[in-house]
Amino acid sequence: MALPSFKPHNNPLSKHSNFQHLTNPTTLIQSWSSSSSKPNNTLTLISSKFQSLLLHCSTKPDTSSNSNTHHSKQNHDEPNSLSNNSHKESQPQDQNQTFSSSSPSSSTTNTSTSLFSRRGLVFDLGFSNSWDSEDIGSPVVKRFQSDEEERWYIWYHGKPKGKPSSDLIGLAISSNGVHWERGGGPAKSSTDVGFVMNCGNNWWGFDTHGIRPSELVIMSSYRVRGSNPVYWLYYTGYSSESVEFCDQSFKFSFDNPIGLNDEFFCKSKILKSLPGLAISQDGRHWARIEGEHHSGALIDVGDDKDWDSLFISSPQVVYHGNGDLRMYYHSFDLEKGEFGIGIARSRDGIRWLKLGKIMGGGKVGCFDEFGAMNACVTRNKIDGNYMMAYEGVGGDGRRCIGVAVSPDGLKEWVRLQDEAVLKPSDEGCWDDKEVGSPCFVCMDDEENEWRLYYRGVGNGGRVGIGMAVSEGNDVRSFRRWTGFHV
């Protein structure tokens, strides 16, 4: 079946109608996916009501302001609008909301915590009884601009406290990429924030035990309401199938969904993960697109002797040109005992052909001696080169962030330097154990500054999402965000 031709949409600020107005999700899946004997795999549309106040500030970083996450309220006058011109009184929380946002977690109200220990933290754990109160991570940050406004979206994974449930994917929005409007429960409409996608419920599916967002590409198609944009979310799905291996000498752990990452589990076996795709017209209501694998995943692991025979994780997709999409993903090379990043190519974004491994472990003693994972690839508009921010794993298991460059984005990847561009903070800070899951955002300003969003972990096990900024276009080092210029 001939698949539609898709191109990146250049006007993401146009108003989006609800997904139901696009077409029935089942129809989309039948028309875009390969034939299968499995039942139709559609996503239950989930969401929730939560409003908050957004602050408009200069985007120039400073070293004096607090970077605590804001949990305030805003009323929207139109879909996806982040206007700060008129704010109304907060409405009472929906009594049927699963996770109330009435009281923040202790981390967001501990005034004795110094600014130094929280530097860089722009997105903390959610309220104590919200859907993202125990774990957050996998930030996928997008910045959209028009003549009238600036808009930021962040898709991320989260998990509630005291619940046996698996990961959820949520959405928060902002006017400056620092102060975020978030929801404590599901997002019910095309203007809400909160969790927007849960694990699959088909027993044969690849994503029944965990889901993590990896990349979002905005496409348009002549078959889908003319020029209206469609969000394509590439994500990692974890199934109930586990992969066992004998070597328990590793000093690092694998990225199993939280709650399954105990010492025995991560040393002897891991959950199998595969890449998936879901589509939406508003970034909140999603329908899964079935890939060619029998589980609905886009691609399968390699053969027993291949470097990616254990799992495939973090499918980060880049649109290179018409009919040329590249997927960067990571796995664990059992033969070499290291994490590695591979690449696959596609003409339509659904059917993929693997091209092989493009990055492995760094030099002995370096921050990425035991490999690279969780890649984020983007094109530098100044020189046309491709840049990859990645999570490096050291010999002691510590995670840091490095950068590699390539002229064409294919196999000629070279590490920018032997040193990490961002390391864990000093002892006592919120991210003093490890940093990873990087997400690059080019600010497109006169200084060509870059922002680096990342997941940080403290020695006490606390997690959060941080932000660091570059010195102009120089991405060899980043400094953690501490405030805006007044």
Average pLDDT, the chain: 77
Task: Report pLDDT digits (tens) over 42-57.
Answer: 333 333 322 232 223 3
Burial of residue 75 (number of CB atoms within 10 Å: 0-12, 13-18, 19+): middle
Say how far apart CA 250 and CA 10 lie, in whole Å.
45
Beta strand 324-333 pairing with 313-321: antiparallel
As a residue count, the chain comes to 486
| Mean pLDDT (whole number) for 145-158 | 90
- pLDDT value of residue 382: 81
Structure tokens at 379: 């094109």
| Mean pLDDT (whole number) for 155-180 | 91
- pLDDT value of residue 256: 61
Least confident of 11-15, 100-104, 284-288, 323-327: 100-104
Instruction: Examine the pLDDT at 80 and tell me if it is beyond 70.
Output: no
Burial of residue 466 (number of CB atoms within 10 Å: 0-12, 13-18, 19+): buried
pLDDT-based confidence at residue 21 (cuts at 50, 70, 90) = very low
Instruction: Examine the pLDDT at 287 and tell me if it is beyond 70.
Output: yes
Q: Which domains does the chain have, with CATH numbers?
A: 16-85+100-480 (2.115.10.20)
Find where tokens 């709650």 sit.
Answer: 259
Task: Report pLDDT digits (tens) over 395-420.
Answer: 888 999 999 999 999 988 999 999 99
Amino acid type, 393: V
pLDDT-based confidence at residue 16 (cuts at 50, 70, 90) = very low
- pLDDT value of residue 146: 79
Q: What is the CA radius of gyration of the chain?
A: 21
| Mean pLDDT (whole number) for 185-211 | 94
DSSP 306: S
- pLDDT value of residue 113: 52
Instruction: Examine the pLDDT at 446 and tell me if it is beyond 50.
Output: yes
Q: Higher confidence at residue 41 or residue 247? A: 247
Whether the CB-CB separation of 274 and 290 falls below 8 Å is answered with no
Proportion of the chain above pLDDT 70, given as a percent: 68
Task: Report pLDDT digits (tens) over 211-261.
Answer: 999 999 988 644 444 457 799 999 999 998 887 765 555 555 666 664 444
